[in-house]
A and B are shown apart, each in its own frame.
Chain A
Amino acid sequence: MSGSGRVGEASVTIGDSPPPVSVGPLTHSDFIRYAGAFGEFNPVHEDIEVARRAGYPDIFAQGMLMGALAANQVRDWLGQERIRSFTARFRAPAFRDDLLRIECRAAALDESRDRMRLESTITNQAGETLLTAQTEVEV
């Protein structure tokens, strides 16, 4: 797939990427802060004993904490006003102490619909994919 398009002020070619973003090591406080900001609490993210009793090796990040990291990277690259949809899929948990790497690339251009598709991934320090996301932007 090749091609390029203008996204607002930016000219984006298939294969282009914004700078990767690193976050972590994730802390217990990060999970509490996220839960408080959105008002969505679940003890598997906040209480180590509950997480272990439920069968998890440790507390882990809310899925949409990772989703927000991927969405923020796209927003910072091309601007919120161009984003038409954002879909995050959760592949594996980000545990406490994990180091995350957030990456994105322009994957496909659909000129008939004036849309470009971006693909994002979040991986941990072991190279495991924790999240994949697709964003549709208007070109």
Chain B
Amino acid sequence: MTPDRAVGAGSAPEPGSLIAEFGPFPVEWGKAREIAIATFDDAGADRYAPSEEARRDPPFAPPTYTMVQALWGASLDELPLGLEPTRILDGEYRFDYLKPIRVGDWLVGRTRYLGRTAKRGRKVGSFNQVKVETTFHDAQTDEAVLVATRTVLEFEEPPRWERP
């Protein structure tokens, strides 16, 4: 058991540095279908049914598919950011779609640490904004297909939310 640490303390990587490289990993029919079910996409069962016709012209991956990076060695836990799971919340998540990603594609990902900024919120007190950016590339051509930028909020104490 390590002693309790101050928010943002520890050995943070240099801003801009590469902190994970993962893949190649496939964009899979079964995973796309599982994600559709988990995100209340009622048409997903049909969209991701691998019929002969669908296999000739595969569907686009679900819009947030690349978050499966957590299954390929680049979850928030595995990134060397020193984040304590019970003290973080997602602040913002941005996807820049550069090229279509279809079921059957193979991707590689590279995650960079963008930095940690101390902030103060009216409702939530002091916190850090921790930013990471993952660029996904086509595994064959290395062409960039998607950039995912995630901002995690790191609190000393979680905000006092009330149930509605």
Q: Which of A44, A56, A87 contacts B85 (CB 8 A)?
A: A44
Given contacts A72-B63, A76-B43, contact A39 B92 (CB under 8 A): no
A6 in the interface (beta carbon within 8 A): no
Q: Quick check: which of B7-15, B68-76, B131-139 contacts chain A, the rest being far away?
A: B68-76
Q: Which residues of A contact B43 (CB under 8 A)?
A: 76
Q: B91, A43: Cβ atoms under 8 Å?
A: no
Pair A58/B163 contact, Cβ less than 8 Å? yes
B82: chain A residues within 8 A (beta carbon): none
Q: Which residue of B lies closest to A63 (CB)?
A: B90
Say yes or no: A84 contacts B97, CB within 8 Å.
yes
Q: Which of B109-164 contact A (CB under 8 A)?
A: 157-158, 160-164
Q: A1 near B: Cβ within 8 Å?
A: no
Do most interface residues of chain A lie in helix, strand or loop, or is the interface mixed? mixed
> B1-56: which have CB < 8 Å to A?
31, 34-35, 37-41, 43
Q: How far is the CB of A127 from chain B (nearest CB, A)?
A: 9
How distant is A69 from chain B, measured CB to nearest CB, in Å?
6
Chain A residues near B40 (CB-CB < 8 A)? 21, 23, 69, 72
Main secondary structure of the interface of B (DSSP, over half): mixed
In the complex, are the beta carbons of B87 and A37 less than 8 A apart? no
Nearest CB on A from B58, distance (A): 12
A60-116: which residues lie under 8 A (CB-CB) from chain B? 60, 62-65, 67-69, 71-72, 74-76, 80-81, 83-90, 92-93, 95, 98
Bound-complex Cα distance A57 to B90 (A): 18
Contact at A128–B164, with CB atoms within 8 Å? yes
Contact of B94 (CB < 8 Å), options: A81, A83, A86: A86
Write the nearest CB–CB distance from B108 to chain A, whole angstroms.
17
Complex Cα–Cα for A134 and B76 (A): 24
Given A36-B38, A40-B76, A72-B40: A89 and B91 interface contact (C-beta under 8 Å): yes
How far, in whole Å, are A81 and B35 apart by their CA atoms in the complex?
19
Q: Which residues of B contact A95 (CB under 8 A)?
A: 163-164
Contact partners of A128 in chain B: CB under 8 A: 164
Q: In the docked arrangement, what's the CA distance between A98 and B92, Å?
A: 21
Q: Within the complex, what minimum Cβ distance (angstroms) separates B118 from chain A?
A: 19
Nearest CB of chain B from residue A27's CB, rounded to whole Å: 12
Please name the residue on chain B nearest to A138 by beta carbon.
B97
Note all chain A residues with C-beta closer than 8 A to B71: 38-39
Specify which chain B residues have a CB less than 8 angstroms from the CB of A92 in the assembled complex.
161
Additional pairs, 15, CB under 8 Å, beyond known A37-B39, A68-B62: A21-B40, A34-B39, A37-B35, A37-B37, A54-B86, A57-B163, A60-B161, A63-B93, A68-B39, A69-B39, A76-B43, A80-B60, A88-B92, A95-B163, A124-B164
